[in-house]
Amino acid sequence: MKPALHKAAITLGACLLLAGVLLAGAAVAGAAGEQALQAVPSYVNPLSGKIEDTGNNPGLGQGMTENLVKKTPVTMLVDDQGSTFITFRVGLVKESKDFAIELLDGSGKVKEAVPYSIVATQPDSDTQDLRIKVPGKDAVLRVSLVSIPMGREVVGFVKFAPEGETVTVPTTKEETDNAAISIYQNSNNDKVTGVSQQNRGKLLTFLGIAAGILLLIGAAAAIVYVRKKKSRGNA
């Protein structure tokens, strides 16, 4: 094979190989995304079955807890190191102070404090989106704050469930099963990845453009190869 034909063949093969790799990467990135969860706010400690709020009023307390921790939006992200981060929304921001999050152990006792960062604030709805690092999506949290209007600490709990799954809020022993509050259903789950939705879109665009350029180069190399081969045959 002449040098020109050899180079054209090598270029064609390399471009097709790289284009295939990029398209495969785009397919993987496009098939994954952040997992959507739903928060399950509970006035009752879901692990111990006890109420820790000094108000001790299940009828009013559950609604208060749902105002404190919003059911949605909630997202979970697992990064490249396997660390799990959950972003969820809390309310009563202007009416409270000394907000705290604590991780519970299997018996429902506080295991450790959970640091959080504020990633977004919605002044009109008096809410904030908080981001925390947890051992996994099965984490159960104790949330507390000091209510300025009430002049005392308010305590509630939250766990997380896949979006679309029907769950019930735990009740105390004194309450009947009919008092359990069902969480509404939402859409189906997405897969978990270390790529956020916004970054995933950028990645898909880049991979698509790069693959397209490589395919064009490969096509040009193929044309050169065919023409050279025809010229050789005619000679």
SS (H, E, C) the chain: CCHHHHHHHHHHHHHHHHHHHHHHHHHHHHCCCCEEEEEEEECCCCCCCCCCCCCCCHHHHHHHHHHHECCCCEEEEECCCCCEEEEEEECCCCCEEEEEEEEECCCCCEEEECCEEEEEEEHHHCEEEEEEEECCCCCCEEEEEEECCCCEEEEEEEEEEECCCCCECCCCCCCCHHHCCECCCCCCCCCCCCCCHHHHHHHHHHHHHHHHHHHHHHHHHHHHHHHHHHHHHHC
pLDDT > 90 fraction of the chain, expressed in percent and rounded:
51
Q: What is the pLDDT of residue 217?
A: 75
Q: Does one domain contain both 123 and 226?
A: no
pLDDT value at residue 17: 57
72/145 same-domain check:
yes
Task: Give the pLDDT score at 169.
Answer: 82
Average pLDDT, the chain: 77
207 and 94 part of one domain: no
| Local confidence band at 171 (pLDDT 50, 70, 90 cut-offs) | confident
What's residue 209's pLDDT?
74
| pLDDT per position as a tens digit, 48-90 | 999 999 999 998 999 999 999 999 999 999 998 889 999 999 9
186: in domain: no
Place of tokens 């949330």: 143
224 and 167 in one domain? no
Structural domain total, the chain:
2
Domain containing 227: what range? 3-30+197-234
Residues 15 and 122 in one domain: no
